[in-house]
Amino acid sequence: MGAPRGRTVKRGLVVGCLALVSVTSGGAVAQTASPTSLEGSRVLDRVVAVVGGQVLTLSELEFEARVAIVERGGVRAADERLDERTLLSALELGVNQRLLVAGADRLQAFAVDRSAVEERLRRFRERFEDEPALLSFLARHDADLDQLLVVLERSVRAERILDSRIRLRAQVSEAEVRRYWEEHKSTLGGSYEGVHDALKERLMRERYGELAKEEFKRVREDARVRRVAPFAQEARP
């Protein structure tokens, strides 16, 4: 049985808004390499961003992008080559999540909700035919269940933090829904009752998005974020 519709809608709002806002960047390409040997240095990974002292590498970013794709139902697409647009979207999500979680850690707030993380892992598992298929996916991308849990845990915490800050302010009253319908009923079509639920959800989504932008602008005021990878530096300011 699927999750209740209301919970699914709310989670979709939070995830989408986490990826909305870009963070000011700067810096040049950097690499991490193995110790010098007789065969010379070998590049193991590449830094794409530094968030408050936390280094985010390309391999981590790619894995987080693939996890996000799977969570949206794209299991097959998650194994395909990731283009820069996808990586940039994943970077926005990753930076936003890390800023929220780091702020909560400083205040010792929003402790990990193990039951919520386990539920997210259960839903992630259900995207695959069986456990071997999941483990095979992880192995193909040099990851394991522990690494997956880290990504899911951060996602769950970030969503909870953001939602706690803006959920109440994002509510839309019946009067606001009615007023919008009266002003746009010629283009909306149908009766008020027929479009009410979808219209209210749409208005809430729009307000949630605007509030999320404001929240991340506030969070970024004191944040130290440095974009390193060339594709990351092309992000909108």
Is 102 part of a structural domain of the chain? yes
Residue 17 lies in a domain: no
What CATH code is carried by the domain that includes residue 67? 1.10.4030
25 within a domain of the structure (yes/no) = no
Which pLDDT band holds residue 19 (cuts at 50, 70, 90)?
low
Crossing angle for the helix pair 114-126 and 131-140, to the nearest 10 degrees: 90
Number of structural domains the chain divides into: 1
- Residue-number span of the structural domain to which 220 is assigned: 53-233
What are all long-range contacts of 166-174, with beta carbons under 8 Å and residues at least 24 apart? 166/208, 166/211, 166/212, 166/215, 167/10, 167/208, 169/207, 169/211, 170/13, 170/204, 170/207, 170/208, 170/211, 171/204, 172/200, 172/203, 172/204, 172/207
Q: Name the pLDDT band for 233 (thresholds 50, 70, 90).
A: low
pLDDT tens readout for residues 21-69: 433 333 333 333 333 333 443 456 899 999 988 999 999 999 999 999 9
Lowest mean pLDDT of 105-119, 180-194, 209-223, name the range. 209-223
Is residue 205 one of the residues assigned to a domain?
Answer: yes
Q: Residue 143 falls within a domain, yes or no? A: yes
Instruction: Please report whether residue 3 resides in a domain.
Output: no
45 in a structural domain: no
Per-residue pLDDT reduced to its tens digit, 132-191: 999 999 999 999 999 999 999 999 999 999 999 999 999 999 999 999 999 999 999 889
Tell me if 24 is assigned to some domain.
no
